[in-house]
Structures are given as C-alpha cells and as structure tokens.
A and B are shown apart, each in its own frame.
Chain A
Amino acid sequence: MEGELFGLPLKKVLEMLRVIEPVPVPFSLPLIKGIINVRGELIPVLDLKSILNLRPTKKEERIIILESPRRKAGVLVDDVYGVIRLN
C-alpha cells in the first residue's frame, strides 16, 4: 500500500477479491467504506489506509476478507504480492 509493504497473518485471511465498489452506509464510521456482497453475505469493508494513517494516492485494487472468531471484514489494499514465512 502506497509503496510500503504490509503483512497480514494468513490464518486470518479468508479470501481475496478484486475490488467491488462498496455500498456506503449512512452515518457509519468514516473508516467503513460500506458493505459488499460476497456470494450472498454482507461484509463490511474497512479503509485500511486511513486506519494506518496512510495518505491515499493510488486506487485500491484488492479487497482482502479477514476473519476473526466473531466477525468478518474486508480491507482495501493496493496489491497483493505473495505469501512469506516469518520466523
């Protein structure tokens, strides 16, 4: 994102999608871009750049769906490079 590399724990990654334009929900937090339809499931999409205080210059190309035990959410990222093992 914006020329920097970030890692996400693979365990939490459910899937990756090409960007779908999220439907904005009125009065939600500015960090939440909206909701998307992933095979019949409504998933909120978060603006990861503003969460991380990055200045957005590029248009995001991918949405990564993350899963925690209680909820699912998508985050917007510029690009996905691959999987690496960190020790």
Chain B
Amino acid sequence: MAVMKTRMQPVKKLFQKFPRVARNLSGMLGKEVELITEGENTEMDKSLIEKLEEPLIHLIRNVVDHSIEPPDEREKLGKPRAGQIKPKAYYQGDRVFISVEDNGRSIDVKKVKAKAIEKGIATKDQLEKMTEKEILSLVFSPGFSTADRISEVSGRGVVMDVVMRFRSTVDLFSEKGKGTRVVMSFLLTIGIIKSLLVSLGGRLFAIPIHSVLEIVSGDDALISLVSGEEVLILRGNIIPLINFVEVLGIQTQKVGFVVVVLIGNRRVAMAVEDMLGDEKVVIKPLGKFFGDVEGISGATITGDGSIGLISDPVGLVRYPKDCHQDNKTAGFLCGGRAFWIASKEGA
C-alpha cells in the first residue's frame, strides 16, 4: 500500500508550473491570460506526471501564443480582455483525464488540411474521407511541427510523444471563435478501483464502478436490432450494446443483466451473464507477454483467489470499427480520435 501511495501523486505538482509559464509568455506577447486549474488533487502515476510536464507546458505555451488573441482583438470580439486557460484533471472509470481548455481562437480546419498536405501527413484523397474531427486530430502528428510560426496549430506534436508511449487517447475539440479543448486520457495502471464484478462467457470481469450508470435485469431489458446492431431500449432511449463476441471474442450464453455505462457523455450497454457484487480491486498489469489488449486494462485477484479481467469501457467502445491505420505514426485514427498502440516494452 505504502508503495502505491508514493507512486501515485497529485497532479498539483504538474499544474503549479503552469501559471509561471503562462505569465511569462503572455507578458512577452502583451496578452492577458487567466489560468484556472481544477482537480489538482487528482492522483496519477508519478512517472506519468514527470513525462507529461514538458508536453503540457508546451501546450500551455501554444495556447497563449496561438489561441489567445491580443486584448484589443478580444475586446472587439466581445470577449473579456483576459483569455482563460483551464487545465483540469479528473477521473472517469479507470482512466485519468487531463484537459486544457481555452476561450481563444479556434483551429481552422482548412489550415490544418493545407498544412497536412504540405507536410505530407495526409493526401487529398485521405482528407476527403475524414471527418472534421479526424482532420483536427492530425494536429498531433509528429510532422506538424513548430517550423511554421504563422500556423496557429503548430508544435503540439510533442504531446503525441507521450501519448504514444502510454496507453492514452487525445481528443481535440474546437468551436469556431470559442476556443479549443484538448482532452487526454490515461489508463490507470496502478491503484485500487471499486468495480462491479460480472461474468461473461463464464469468465470473471470487473467493470469500474465509476462508469456504471445503472443495471437492468435481463428479463426487463428490451433488446432489439437497429441496422444490424444490437441496442438496448431503455425508457425510450436507444443505447448501443457492446458486442462482446466481436470486441473480446467472448460468446455469452444468456443475458442475466444489462449494465449501462457512461463513457464521456455517451451511454453504452453491456449485456452480462451474471453479477457477482462489487469489490475494491487492485489493478495488476497483464504483463509484457500480452502487450496491450484493447478493452482490458489489467487483471485482478479477487478475495477468493480467482482472477478477474478489468474491462476498460473506453477501450471497448473505441474498439476499431471504422479505423484506418495511419502509417506515418503507426497509430490509428478512429472516428476522429487518434490513438496509438504503445510499443511493447522490451520488443
């Protein structure tokens, strides 16, 4: 336990460096910036905190430099003179999220497109098939460098380095004239999570309880087919059902219960065979032999000595359905979400 305590540290250590960075740079550029941090006591792996320091500072610098407009311009736009930057950390399920939000300019999709073609990150044909979100996520490609100072999206490639090394995701949201939000999520690799133990195909699985919204008895659950996909109809809402055969290769025998989990702002249902109660479980990594298994964040040993696999609802949903591999970065782009397969240790 004590070891775990020292390995988990609050992100305060990381966040407390931001004000200085923002102040220095904004002073130099004649901009006004207000920094509002949230969730400073959220704990995460110490090694991850250390590795995130540089990319996040870089990100903050970029926001001040490119996203926040000069005070006069802001005033003309009807925004307060001081731009806001909001770094925030929070838990969801078995993940830690770090987001940086600002209320400056948005990222221009057209510019990203032009730049991507110019730098050879994507071809015109590829770009045409991409959604706006997918195009925005190109910003994180390593080739998208600081070289061109005019670009307002330059230099965020450093973030990707870390994302590539850890099992994480990066999302970029940008609303015209309203600012940009970068959301990173990292899998908790150590620690204790409270989870719901369920059985699937006779195997034990743990679902992080933070993400469980509600549980419906299998007899009452209304499951039907919508365009070939199974969905749960709950009080008039249609909730997609995770197909375990497809995602985990597990054939379930019956539907005992349906667990509705919340991922971001999406609801997803998981049909499980049985429910075995809740337990605080210690996450143990699967180890090097397995590399990264999408949808499984680790394993645990329950009170009676049996092994349960900890499901990662985010990973389950992210399971590549409409993904195409990005050869340049050896990663995937899935529905506008870039994610990378971390290189297997020792390989």
Complex Cα gap A32–B290 (Å): 8
Chain A residues within an 8 Å CB radius of B65? none
A9 within 8 A of B: no
B191 within 8 A of A: no
Q: Would B288 and A36 count as touching, CB distance under 8 A?
A: no
Binds A, one of B89-97, B158-166, B253-261, B292-300: B292-300
Which residue of chain A is the closest to B291 with respect to CB atoms? A28
Q: Would A26 and B289 count as touching, CB distance under 8 A?
A: no
B246: min CB distance to chain A, Å: 11
* Given A24-B203, A25-B286, A26-B296, residue A70 in contact with residue B301 (CB < 8 A): no
Which residue of chain B is the closest to A44 with respect to CB atoms? B289
A23 within 8 A of B: yes
Q: Would B296 and A37 count as touching, CB distance under 8 A?
A: no
B284 within 8 A of A: yes
Which residue of chain B is the closest to A40 with respect to CB atoms? B301
Q: Which of A60-78 contact B (CB under 8 A)?
A: 70-71, 73
* Given A35-B307, A71-B289, residue A42 in contact with residue B248 (CB < 8 A): no
Q: Would A42 and B301 count as touching, CB distance under 8 A?
A: yes
* Given A42-B299, A42-B307, residue A26 in contact with residue B287 (CB < 8 A): no
A43: min CB distance to chain B, Å: 8
Complex Cα gap A46–B289 (Å): 10
A81 within 8 A of B: no
Chain A residues within an 8 Å CB radius of B204? 23
Q: Would A73 and B248 count as touching, CB distance under 8 A?
A: no
Q: Would B295 and A37 count as touching, CB distance under 8 A?
A: no
Chain A residues within an 8 Å CB radius of B309? 23, 25-26
A27 within 8 A of B: yes
Q: Would B293 and A71 count as touching, CB distance under 8 A?
A: no
Complex Cα gap A61–B177 (Å): 67
Complex Cα gap A40–B303 (Å): 10
Chain B residues within an 8 Å CB radius of A25? 286, 290, 293, 296, 299, 309
Pull 30 A–B residue pairs with CB atoms less than 8 Å apart, ordered by A.
A23-B299, A23-B307, A24-B203, A25-B286, A25-B299, A25-B309, A26-B248, A26-B249, A26-B250, A27-B249, A27-B293, A27-B296, A35-B286, A35-B287, A35-B299, A35-B307, A37-B301, A37-B305, A37-B306, A42-B284, A42-B287, A42-B301, A44-B286, A44-B289, A46-B289, A70-B346, A71-B287, A71-B288, A71-B289, A73-B289
Q: A25-B286, A26-B250, A29-B289 are in contact. List 15 more A-B contacts (CB 8 A).
A: A23-B204, A23-B309, A24-B203, A25-B299, A26-B248, A27-B296, A28-B289, A32-B289, A35-B286, A35-B307, A42-B284, A44-B286, A44-B287, A70-B346, A71-B287
Q: Which B residues have a C-beta under 8 Å from some C-beta of A? A: 203-204, 248-250, 284, 286-290, 293-296, 299, 301, 305-307, 309, 346
In the A-B complex, the 10 residue pairs with the smallest Cβ-Cβ separation, listed nearest first, are: A26-B248, A23-B307, A44-B289, A27-B293, A28-B290, A37-B301, A26-B249, A42-B284, A37-B307, A42-B299
